[in-house]
Amino acid sequence: MIQRRLLLLFAVVLAACYLILLGVWIGSNAAYDLSVAIGIAPDLVNPEGVVEAIEAILWLIATVFFGRTAWRTKSPWLVLLTLMCFFALGEEISWGQHLLGFEAPEALADVNQQDETNLHNLNLAVILGLPETMPFYSYFTNITRILNPLFYLVNMILWIAFPLLKPRVNLLRQYPALSRQFVIFAIGVFIVFIVVDRLLINAGELLELGLSMLGCLAAVEVFLNRE
């Protein structure tokens, strides 16, 4: 009972933070656009840096909790979830480049759209020598245009589809149990993204924040269920 209450409190705090950050994100983007228009220090009101830092912290927490539970249970599913969260963390912080202040290797920087040590900004068009006349050429100039939708789909499957299908599909019987409340929260994250993205602003970063919250909440729930 205490664990359930702790989990519920954690979920409520995350949901509240998400709503607050949603308001801050919308307000900051409006302020950023205004500052760009009038030429007054736009970087001071750019919300992306703060949101990306929060995402990294949440993915770190998810990696630690999933990893600890995977170590205890030796569950292949939990090992897979740990690796996914660790990969998301690494890509979010460019594998420590911005924290440690090192430059990306020249060979990687030459084919990375942002000169960073990560995979999601690779320019496949340069790597593969694709001609500019090729259909969908722009999608290959930055692989994030392919990886981001794929990452969103994977998260939708992990946090919504698998928990719902777990009781009915034998292959998923060993998948970690996630509560109905968690699945509802996950659905809510995607609904908020669709509404905000379609009606207000480009909300891709907001969805990534929501996904990091889902990963963190799932890891904590699984950990508490195993205690």
pLDDT at 133: 75
State phi, psi for 77 to the nearest 5 degrees: -60, -45
Better pLDDT: 4 or 154: 154
Segments making up each domain of the chain, as ranges: 2-226
Query: Residue 45: which pLDDT band, with cuts at 50, 70 and 90?
Result: very low
pLDDT at 174: 92
Mean pLDDT of 122-135: 75
Read off the pLDDT band of 10 (50, 70, 90).
low
pLDDT confidence bin for 19, thresholds 50/70/90: low
Of 205, 196, 164, 211, which is closest to residue 183 (Cα–Cα)? 164
Report the amino acid identity of residue 200: L
